[in-house]
Structures are given as C-alpha cells and as structure tokens.
C-alpha cells in the first residue's frame, strides 16, 4: 500500500477501531494523531541532518548543496533506523539571508553558518538595500529542489518545503541581541523588520516553491523558543506573523505556509528552574503554530521533565490531544542504551496507555552513537505495543543488534548517490553566493 | 549603600544602559570610590539579574538588556578602576568560540561576568582557529582558557585544541573550561577539561574556584 492517501485512510480507520492489515509508518502516525491506538507507539522521523551526513560519510559540500544527496541520505538513514516517517531538513535558518547577501562561513565538514560578526542588517536604512529575494540566488534553488525531491520520493503530509520564519530570519540577519532590543524597545522598527522578512525575504521563496508545485512549507523558528522569547512576546509578534503568512499563502498561492514552528518550545536547560505554569503557557503557544492540535515537546531538556505535566496539559479539556514526546538529542547522544530504554518505559507508562502518543528525538546530534537511536526505536516498538502491558517493568528490552550502515546500504535505492558523493574532493569546491 | 549606588544597581537590573552610564559618571563626579561603585552598584546589579534569571523572573531578553547596561556602566568606570588598582595582577582568562561556530551571545555574558569578578579577559572572538588558541596561551599565559561552542558539530573541536595544548606542553599550568549549549559535565570530562561552565553565572563561579578566588 504505497499510496500515501491510502496509508492515511488506513491509519484513520485503524486508529478508530477498524483494524485490518499491516500499518505503514505513515498509517501508524495518522492512527495515533487522528484516532487513538495504532499497533504500537509510532516513532516520528526526527530532525537529524548533520547526524545523517555523518552516518552516510558524505561531505558537507555535497550534502548542503546537492538536493539528491541530502534527500537520499535522509531517506536511507531513516529507513536504516526504522523511523515511521521522514523529516528531511538542512540548515534551514540560512538560505534566505545567504541569498540576500549575508556573509557566510562554509566548511567541508559542517553545515554553513551565518557570520554574525558582520550582520546583514545593521540599521533601519539597510532594509532598503536588501530585497526582494531573487530565488535564483545562493542555495534557494537547492531548497526548492529538496522540497521537490522530498515530495516525489517520500510523498505524504510531511513532505514539503522548508524556510526560516521571520523572527529567526531577523536574528540571522542582524544577530539576536539587536533583534530582541528592537522587539522590546522600538516596536515601529520591529514591525518594519517583520514586514521586510515576510515580504522581501520569505515571500519570493514561497512563490518560487509554489511555481514548482510545492503546496506546503514549514518555517522553523528556534529563535522563538523559550527562553529566547517569552510566551508573551511570542503571542505579541510570532503568532500574528504566522497567521498573516498562513492567510496570505492560502489566498495568493493556494499553499499552506506554516511559519513559527517550535516557537514557544520550552527549552529551559536548568531543571531547578522548570515551572509548570510557564511550560503550560509555552505549550499553548506551540499548539497555535501547528496545523493540528498537539501537545508537543521538541528540543527541550525533556529527560528531566515531569511528564505528568505534559499529560495533564494534553488531557485538561477532558479529551486527550495527541502528545509528541521528544527525547532530548544530547540525552540520546550521551546516555547508555539502558538509560534510554528506562525513560521510554516511563514515558509510555505516563503518556501512552490511552493512545494518541508519538515518540521522537528533538534533533539527533552528529556524533550520537547509532546503537542509541536503534535502541530508542526498538524500545518504543516493544514497550509501546497496544494494549500497553500492565507492568512495563516486567518487559525486558535489550539494545538491538544491527547491520552496519555501509553493509545495509548495499543494494538500497540510495546506494549510488551516497557512494558517488563520497568521491568528492575539496578541489571540487564551488562558490555560490 | 548610598542612594546613587542603589540607583546604579537598579539601572543595571532594569537594563537601562544610558541611565547606568550616566549614573556611574555622576557617582564618580560626586567622588564616590570607583571600587564601591563597581562592587555595590554594577556587580551587585548583574548579580541580582542572575538571581532573577535563576528564579524564573527574568528571561533571556531581560538578561541581554542588563548585560548592555553593565557594559555601558563599565565605560566610565574602567579607567578609574585602573588608576586606583591595588597593584595585584588580575588572573587572565582567554576565551573564544571554536572554529566553524559563530555564536557569541553566551560568550558576551560570560565575559561580562568574568570581568565583574576581576578577571582580565582576552576575547579571541568567534570562529577561532585552533592555532589562534595555542598562540594566545603562549603569548598571554592565562590562568584559564575558556572554549565555547553552540553546535554539536563544532564542539568536537575542543578536544582537538586540548590535545594540541598537551602535545605542545602548554597544558600543565593551564586550567581549561568548556561551555555552550551542547556541552555537558560528561563532555567536559571526556575532552579532559577542568570545569564545565553550565551557564554564565556558573562559569564565573567555577573560574573563581579554579584560581582560588
């Protein structure tokens, strides 16, 4: 059943009690999101670009410039791990400002980075200098091609374009401290900055994506996570911008433009400072930028959260909304497989018994041991099998054996692209901007 | 505490940079001792900001404004402090963000607090090559070298730098601190650093411990 529409219908039926056949990964996620119980708790494909690049041993100069390398590496690594969906990302915060002329730092081994020591926007007068964005410049064509290939090779509701949301784009263009000063102290200038980001920087990219047949685009906004911005500031600036862009996308392009993704994500690093009310406020703003109702954690230090709070948030109206439980990337990297199994056991016990629960990893760091990710998927599938066992502590889970990536890759559809990318030498280096 | 110094403290906490600089200048003009202005006004203000941050009453934007006010207050104060120094050399702290990493917000806060604690800080900036760190250790002979990284891909460079310092025989009299979002106590131990700066306040506290302050 390779057709994503059929897979989604299957998931909806399955999740609502009409159970037949073997669920696909997409069907499993839809069953958990729109119904209640899939066959087991799904494991959503996480953001993992630099980790996937490291596992596939392809150079950054190919991975962050050639869409087929990026897409094929993601698809192969996601399948190797057994994720239920694909999340294909790159350095999404850079493309617009890079194409507008921001100074960048490129590396053979790591993702491109904006040189914040020489920002693009230093004063209000600079807003006249840059824009509108020319979608043929920089790596915008790469971003468009990634969206096309993602949609072609892994169609479904998660495929589409990626962009940098207005607030994070402004942080990239001028640096976070000047941006936050403007937000708090010069509202007129901040509004002009948002207008510039939405209309001059992002909109031409959206129009170019739509011209190539892309119908939805998600805008990352990590600079709007807590405590970079408080829930009040997200409500004042990020949500209205997100609504403006969504409405304009629908009206002018017939496209779903979702800006502000992960705005409000609770990323407090110090467990001593965890605060239930602030968390609830943050989850409320996160829910506002998601197309579906969701109680979501993403990049936060979730291993130290009291997950009863997230469960309470998800069930406070009397009907449980789906919960996305994301393991912290650094926790996954730095923990033993046994510690990972223990936390998944605890989370499923608290949040998964009555369904509508998905597992994920916030963002897999480049140097995470693969055994830890294989273990997370295995533990989710065993401990999260419905109906959930009364006594989860009685179920033993061992870190799974797995074929090394290179051996597994033999004969896979992505093998040729990945092996060819590895042949790149630094002499092939290109200059784009 | 005099009324003027209380106002300086308040201006730092409120992140009013122009007020902070003006109040410090007024206090100096009135003849208040520079060290008293520093300790009871400026440093007390940034310390109070740190407490409010720890208590969840202040968030990152508030800390940025307080750091701005702190920097503005130090402009008129620094020359006066140098004039009236006690002759004892301050401990040197060389700091930089490793190569490939351009994030400097955390470093700015750390520098502000280290300076408030009396360190002479040599800031190598962001995207600093390994050899620049090595040269700075040779040239400045700091008590502490601070390495920062914001990305999991770039943090690995810290181990390379520490290994290189060991190879060149520069590690023995040098304390090394690591910090930045992806770092951890485990990572600190793994790369052979002496202390982990979990946040700016902790970095200042650990640095003082390392030099016996």
Return d(Cα A311, Cα A352) in angstroms, integer: 9
Q: Across A337-351, B36-50, B107-121, which has the greatest mean pLDDT?
A: A337-351
CA contacts within 13 A on the Cβ side of A43: 21
- Residues A228, B187: C-beta atoms closer than 8 Å: no
User: Per-residue pLDDT for B105 more than 70?
Assistant: no
The Cα–Cα gap between A58 and A72 comes to 11
CB distance from B30 to chain A under 8 Å? Answer: no
Contact A177 B105 (CB under 8 A): yes
Common-topology check for domains B3-83 and B92-210: no
- Chain B closest-CA separation from residue A203 CA (Å): 27
Using pLDDT thresholds of 50, 70 and 90, give the confidence band for residue B153: low
- Which pTM was predicted? 0.83
Residues of chain A contacting residue B181, judged by C-beta atoms under 8 Å apart: 269
CA distance to partner chain B, nearest, from residue A334 (Å): 8
CATH architecture of structural domain B3-83: Orthogonal Bundle (1.10)
Domain ranges of chain B: 3-83, 92-210
Cross-chain Cβ contact B59/A114 below 8 Å: no
* Burial class of residue A275 in the structure, from the number of CB atoms within 10 Å of its CB (0-12 exposed, 13-18 middle, 19+ buried): middle
pLDDT of amino acid A433: 33
Tokens of A327: 């393991």
433 residues of chain A, pLDDT tens digit each: 478 999 999 999 999 999 999 999 999 999 999 878 999 999 999 999 999 999 999 999 999 999 999 999 999 999 999 999 999 999 999 999 999 999 998 888 788 988 877 899 999 999 999 989 999 999 999 999 999 999 999 998 889 999 999 999 999 999 888 899 899 889 999 999 999 999 999 999 999 999 999 999 999 999 999 988 988 899 999 999 999 999 999 999 999 999 998 888 999 888 888 999 999 999 998 888 776 788 988 889 999 999 999 999 999 999 999 999 999 998 999 899 999 999 999 999 999 999 999 999 998 999 899 999 999 999 999 999 999 999 999 999 999 999 999 999 999 999 999 999 999 876 555 544 3
Question: Quick check: B203 contacting A, CB < 8 Å?
Answer: no
- Chain B contacts of A273, Cβ < 8 Å? 54-56
pLDDT at B154 over 90: no
Q: Which of A117, A269, A273 sits opposite B102 (nearest CB)?
A: A117
Cite the beta strand spans of chain B per DSSP E.
92-97, 120-123, 144-148, 175-179, 195-197
Interface mutation target, options A53, A177, A231, A372, chain B, most CBs of B under 10 Å: A177
**How far is the CA of A168 from the CAs of A22, A309, B93, B193, in angstroms?**
41, 28, 32, 33
| Shortest distance, CA B94 to any CA of chain A (angstroms) | 19
| Helix, strand, coil percent content, chain B, rounded in steps of 5 | 55, 10, 30
Whether residue B185 lies within 8 A of chain A, CB to CB, comes out as no
To the nearest whole Å, the CA of A176 is away from the closest chain B CA by 8
B132 to chain A, any CB pair closer than 8 A? The answer is no
Residues B157-167 have pLDDT tens digits of 899 999 999 99
Distance CA B166, CA A318 (A): 61
What is the three-class DSSP state of A220?
A: strand
- Residues A332, A367 contacting (CB under 8 angstroms): no
Per-residue pLDDT, B53: 85
Inform me whether the C-beta atom of residue B70 falls under 8 Å from chain A C-beta atoms.
no
Which chain A residues contact residue B51 at CB under 8 A? none
Range B92-210: architecture per CATH? 3-Layer(aba) Sandwich (3.40)
pLDDT score recorded for residue A96: 98
- Say yes or no: A176 contacts chain B, CB-CB below 8 A: yes
The verdict on A228 touching B (C-beta cutoff 8 Å) is yes
Residue indicated by tokens 């730098």:
B161
Residue A412 near residue A76 (C-beta atoms within 8 A):
yes
In chain A the first and final C-alpha atoms are separated, in Å, by 43
Q: How many CB pairs under 8 A join A and B?
A: 82
Instruction: List Cα–Cα distances, A111 to A90, A146, B49, B154, in angstroms.
Output: 8, 16, 35, 10
Cβ contacts of B187 on chain A, cutoff 8 Å: 334
Residue B71's contacts (CB-CB under 8 Å, 6 or more residues apart) are B17, B112
ipTM over 0.85: no
Nearest to residue B43, comparing CAs of B3, B93, B8?
Answer: B8
Is residue B203 classed exposed, middle or buried when 0-12, 13-18 and 19+ CB atoms within 10 A define those classes? Answer: buried
Phi, psi of B87 (to 5 degrees): 85, -15
- Asked if pLDDT for residue B207 goes beyond 50, the answer is yes
Give A115→chain B minimum CA distance, Å. Answer: 6
In sequence order, what are the beta bridge partners of B145?
Answer: B94, B176
Instruction: Please tell me which residue, B104 or A301, carries the higher pLDDT value.
Output: A301
Any B CB within 8 A of A282 CB = no
Q: Is the dihedral of CA A399, A401, A406, A410 positive or negative?
A: negative
Average pLDDT over residues B99-128: 76
Using the beta-carbon criterion (under 8 Å), do A117 and B61 form an inter-chain contact? no
| Interface residue B202 vs chain A (CB under 8 A) | no
């Amino acid at each position: 059943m390779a057709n994503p529409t059929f897979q989604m219908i299957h998931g909806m039926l399955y999740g609502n009690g009409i159970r037949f056949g073997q669920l696909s990964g997409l069907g499993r996620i839809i069953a958990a999101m729109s119904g209640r119980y899939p066959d087991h708790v799904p494991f959503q494909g996480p953001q993992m670009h630099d980790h996937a690049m490291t596992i596939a041993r392809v150079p950054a100069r190919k991975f962050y410039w050639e869409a087929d390398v990026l897409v094929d590496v993601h698809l192969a690594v996601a399948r190797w791990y057994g994720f239920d969906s694909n999340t294909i990302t790159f350095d999404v915060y850079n493309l617009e400002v890079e194409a507008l002329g921001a100074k960048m730092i490129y590396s053979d081994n790591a993702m491109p980075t904006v040189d914040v020591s020489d920002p693009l926007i230093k004063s209000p007068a600079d807003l006249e200098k840059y824009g509108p964005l020319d979608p043929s410049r920089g790596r915008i064509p790469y971003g468009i091609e990634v969206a096309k290939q993602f949609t072609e090779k892994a169609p479904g509701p998660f495929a589409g374009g990626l962009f940098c949301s207005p607030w994070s784009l402004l942080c990239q263009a001028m640096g976070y401290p000047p941006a936050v000063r403007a937000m708090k102290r010069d509202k007129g200038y901040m509004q002009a900055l948002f207008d510039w980001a939405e209309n001059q920087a992002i909109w031409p990219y959206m129009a170019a994506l739509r011209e190539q047949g892309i119908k939805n685009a998600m805008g990352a906004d990590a600079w709007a996570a807590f405590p970079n911005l408080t829930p009040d500031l997200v409500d004042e600036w990020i949500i209205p911008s997100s609504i403006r862009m969504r409405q304009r996308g629908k009206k002018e392009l017939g496209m779903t433009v979702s800006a502000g993704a992960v705005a409000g994500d609770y990323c407090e690093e110090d467990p001593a400072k965890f605060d239930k009310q602030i968390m609830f406020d943050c989850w409320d703003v996160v829910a506002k930028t998601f197309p579906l109702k969701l109680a979501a954690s993403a990049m936060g230090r979730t291993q130290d959260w009291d997950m009863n709070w997230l469960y309470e948030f998800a069930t406070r109206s009397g009907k449980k909304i789906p919960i996305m439980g994301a393991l912290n990337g650094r926790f996954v990297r730095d923990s033993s497989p046994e510690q990972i199994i223990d936390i998944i056991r605890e989370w499923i016990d608290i949040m998964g018994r009555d369904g509508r629960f998905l597992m994920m990893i916030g963002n897999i760091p480049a140097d995470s041991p693969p055994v830890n990710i294989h273990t997370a998927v295995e533990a989710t599938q065993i401990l999260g099998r419905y109906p959930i066992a009364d006594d989860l502590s009685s179920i033993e889970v061992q870190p799974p054996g797995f074929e090394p990536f290179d051996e597994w890759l033999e004969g896979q559809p992505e093998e040729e692209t990945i092996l060819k990318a590895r042949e790149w030498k630094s002499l092939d280096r290109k200059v784009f901007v | 505490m005099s009324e003027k110094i209380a106002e300086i403290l308040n201006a730092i906490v409120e992140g009013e940079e122009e007020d902070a600089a003006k109040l410090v200048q007024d206090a100096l003009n009135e003849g208040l001792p520079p060290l008293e202005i520093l300790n009871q006004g400026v440093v007390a203000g940034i310390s109070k900001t740190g407490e409010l941050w720890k208590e969840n009453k202040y968030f990152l934007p508030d800390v940025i404004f307080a750091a701005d006010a702190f920097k503005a207050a130090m402009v008129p104060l620094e020359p006066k402090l140098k004039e009236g120094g006690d002759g004892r050399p301050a401990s040197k702290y060389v700091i930089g963000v490793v190569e490939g990493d351009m994030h400097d917000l955390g470093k700015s806060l750390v520098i502000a607090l280290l300076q408030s604690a009396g360190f002479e800080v040599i800031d190598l900036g962001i995207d600093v090559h390994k050899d620049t760190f090595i040269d700075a250790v040779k040239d400045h002979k700091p008590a502490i070298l601070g390495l920062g990284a914001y990305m999991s891909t770039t943090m690995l460079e810290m181990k390379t730098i520490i290994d290189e310092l060991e190879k060149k025989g520069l590690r023995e009299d040098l304390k090394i601190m690591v910090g930045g979002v992806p770092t951890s106590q485990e990572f600190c131990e793994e790369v052979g650093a002496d202390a982990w700066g979990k946040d700016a306040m902790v970095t200042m506290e650990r640095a003082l411990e390392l030099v016996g302050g």
